[in-house]
Copies of this chain bind each other. A is one copy, B any other.
Amino acid sequence: MRADRFLRACRREAVDATPIWLMRQAGRYLEGFQALRKTHSFLELVHTPELAVEISLEPVRRFDLDAAIVFADILLPLEPMGLTLHFEAEGGPRIENPVRDEEDAGRLRPVDPRDGLGDVLETLRILRQELGGRVPLIGFAAAPFTLLSYAVEGETRRDAPSLKALMWGRPALFEALMRRMSEVTVAYLRSQVEAGAQALQLFDSWVGALSPLDYGRHVLPHTQAVIRGLRGTGVPVIHFAPLTTSYLDLVLETGADVLSVDWRADLTSVRREARGRAAVQGNLDPLLLKEGNPAQIREEARRILERAGPDAGHIFNLGHGVLPGTPPAHVGILVDAVHTFSALEGRPRR
């Protein structure tokens, strides 16, 4: 059943136990990754399929996770567009030549994913084969607003001040850039499905910087366009939109199959609002996974399962990515707790 729990839950079908995978499950907190990082830069790892495959497989070999996610980065599509990325040990990613005006925008190159992002597609192809159907494979990309936020800010700025200033001050340029990011994202994600991805997650990590009016007017139409553009692939789309529970009704209009929420959300309310429209993914506080003791992690897992309720269509995950420094053993404890509690509580979920 491990082979199809996750995809069944995405489609809101009954499962024998609640499926679980974790954002950033492949990477920073695991020893295998840390060993590779000593001899390779982050970008080398991402661009070397045999290494990226190993990193992606490490967590699904070690833990009873219900899905694998390809090891890659949401910023990769910016490289073939002509932006120069650096991943520094401290302070996160930096872009050498961020987009500031029409001239910068005009210099952005069109992207053929098979060309500019071929390494990631190759990683997906190998991974799908290596997984041999044991668990499904998730591909991913940033949603247009978050991708553009990095392109414009040049670094992680979760309030996206320069991008919002651009959105208000130069709406035509903003629109053109959002369309460009959307096109690249659709092409990239479609290629990921062709390469073997069986589900897709769209990370709109910084969209919570927006008010409901701005979200509805300036961002929602583009996210809708991306998800419409993926309809033909037949794979479920998960939309991660932290800090947007105050305008969940709008976010549900994206048309995503699964809505992934942060740890501030109460799953009972979110599931009520999403009923009949989307499955829900989430939402343990990643800091609790790092800092909590085993009893606290198990208790919080149980509570989240209770808040999610017995209806089909819940995928367990964190409210954000696994934090560096999280003890790997904690991941094992969480995965087992979710499977045990959810199976005990009279699953299969209806």
In the assembly, what is the distance between CA of A109 and CA of B248, in Å? 45
User: A168-B291, A296-B168 are known contacts. Are A214 and B246 too (CB-CB below 8 A)?
Assistant: no
- Is A235's CB within 8 Å of the partner chain B? no
Q: Closest CB of chain B to A207's CB: distance in Å?
A: 10
Q: Is the CB of B264 within 8 A of A208?
A: yes
Selected contact of A165 from candidates B165, B212, B244, B287, CB within 8 Å:
B287
CA distance A165 to B208 in the complex (A): 24
The CA-CA distance from A210 to B263 in the complex, in Å, is: 8
Does A34 belong to the interface (CB within 8 Å)? no
> Which residue of chain B has its CB nearest to the CB of A165?
B291
Contact A285 B212 (CB under 8 A): no
Copies in the complex: 2
**Does residue A159 face the partner (Cβ distance < 8 Å to B)?**
yes
A164 close to B287 (CB less than 8 A): yes
- Asked if residues A266 and B246 are in contact (CB atoms below 8 Å), the reply is yes
A interface size (C-beta, 8 A): 34
A288 touching B168 by the CB < 8 A rule?
yes
With both chains docked as a complex, state the minimum distance between the C-beta of A276 and any C-beta of chain B, in angstroms.
20
B247 touches A266 (CB 8 A): yes
| CB pairs A–B below 8 angstroms (26 shown) | A159-B287, A161-B291, A164-B285, A164-B288, A164-B291, A165-B287, A168-B288, A168-B292, A168-B296, A169-B291, A208-B264, A211-B263, A211-B264, A211-B288, A211-B319, A212-B266, A213-B300, A244-B264, A245-B245, A245-B246, A246-B246, A246-B264, A246-B265, A246-B266, A246-B269, A247-B266
Q: Which 9 A-B pairs have the closest CB atoms?
A: A245-B246, A165-B291, A211-B263, A246-B265, A246-B264, A212-B266, A211-B285, A168-B292, A164-B287
Known A208-B264, A211-B319, A246-B264; further 12 A-B contacts with Cβ < 8 A: A161-B291, A164-B285, A165-B287, A165-B291, A168-B292, A168-B296, A210-B264, A211-B283, A243-B243, A243-B264, A246-B265, A246-B266
Chain A residues close to B by CB (< 8 Å): 159, 161, 164-165, 168-169, 208, 210-214, 243-247, 263-266, 269-270, 283, 285, 287-288, 291-293, 296, 300, 303, 319
